[in-house]
Structure 1
Amino acid sequence: LCAVALGVAFAWIVLMVQGLNSDLREATEARDALAKQVEQLGEKPVAGPPGSRGDPDEAKPGPRGPRGPA
């Protein structure tokens, strides 16, 4: 009985991972299509294919945040 429960749990996890992979693939294709449309309209897309985000800038620390409660 325990082995069956573990098998069912493992199968469910595999199915969930496959579903998430499919969702991610669809979202990536939609993002790429939108970026292409924006470029065709003569603008620069905010999102695009990997590696299209421009040159890396100097890494600088940001401003100090507000002090927390004492």
Structure 2
Amino acid sequence: MTLDEFRQTRPDYGIAIYAYGPGGPVTIEVHAPDGALASVQGATEEDAWIALLGAPAPPEPEPDTKEESVFD
């Protein structure tokens, strides 16, 4: 997920992504319309997104479009 994707899918939410110290953790803060605040950290931005939203689903396998031939 990216900041732009999050803002597009949740336009009523406020969000901040920051890392204060060099090499330190990345923090994502989400401000919900009802005033609730969620704050998560990760070693990288991707880790922080996973901490916030969970791991993304694995990609769907590509369909087998290979034509059979007499040589298979």
User: TM above 0.5, one fold?
Assistant: no
Q: Which one has a larger percent strand, Structure 1 or Structure 2?
A: 2
Q: Which one has a larger percent helix, Structure 1 or Structure 2?
A: 1
Report the structure number with the largest CA radius of gyration. Answer: 1
TM-score by length of 2: 0.20
